[in-house]
Structure formats: C-alpha cells, structure tokens
Amino acid sequence: MPSTASLATRCYQAALYLYPPAFRREFLREMVRVFDEVRHDAQDSSPGGGRWSFWARMIADLARTIALQWMRTGWPVIGALSVVYPLTAVSALAKFWRRTSFVLPSGNADADVTALVLLVAIVLVVIAATIVLTLWFTRPLLYRRRT
C-alpha cells in the first residue's frame, strides 16, 4: 500500500486487524482497495451527507463481518466452552458435596487441613479436565491444513 494513504484508509486498515489472522492475510489488500474505491465514489456522488451514510454502512459491515469471521474459526465457541465447563463442574461438585453426608474429622485443625487439601485436589482436577477438553476440541483447528 502506498505510504500516502488517507487517514480514512489507515483507520480502516487498523480496523481490519480485528479480523482473524488467516482471513486478514488473504483479503486485506483487496478489502482496502474496495474501501478506497467505494469511499471515492461516495464522495463524488454526494459531497455532503453521503459521508455519514458511507461511514455508518462501513462500521455496520465491519461489526457484522468481524463477528461472522471469528465465529467461522470456531475459537469463540471453544473459549466459551472452556469457561462454561469448569463453572458447571464446580457447581455440580458443590451440589454433590452439600447432598452427601461427608463428615470431616472432628478436630478443627485436621478438618481445616483436610478441607483445604480436598479443595485443592478438586480445583486441580477441574483445571486438568479443562485443559484436556480444550486441547481435544481445538485439535482439528490446530492441525488443519493451512491454505
């Protein structure tokens, strides 16, 4: 791209960095070229009010297509599952803990230590399961053929 790009073009190029990297590598130059053409056409056709209409359409298009392209990568779904799974697991364990008649040893110091060790063990199991499930779900994304 020429270094004499307008401020509008440079702002648009900066906004394109919100797209997924693979999409950006493939389409960045073409999108900037089309943006410049449409911007010049909008300025030529209606010098006054056309500018705001143009920017409203561009911002709406960016918001829609950025979200769409990220959803196509699958990463938002994996991220959401990585958050939902541990929360669900901890919630289920807490409900199970309340319903069982699990009794800790009678001494206060022993009970505190036992409860702490049990809590740490549960947290480590949930973290390990989250890592394993995340890697399992992302494996097709990590090893797919890059074009």
75-98 residue pLDDT tens? 787 778 777 877 887 788 778 777
Question: How big is the chain by its Cα radius of gyration, in Å?
Answer: 26
In the prediction, which pLDDT does 118 show?
A: 80
Give every CB contact of residue 137 below 8 A, 6+ residues apart in sequence.
Answer: 78, 81
Q: 81 is written with which tokens?
A: 């599952």
CA distance 92 to 86: 10
Give every CB contact of residue 82 below 8 A, 6+ residues apart in sequence.
Answer: 130, 133, 134
11-64 residue pLDDT tens? 999 999 999 998 999 999 999 999 999 888 887 777 666 778 888 889 999 999
Is residue 145 very low, low, confident or very high in pLDDT (cuts 50, 70, 90)?
low
CA distance 51 to 56: 9
In the prediction, which pLDDT does 102 show?
A: 61
Measured between alpha carbons, how far apart are the two ends of the chain, in Å? 23
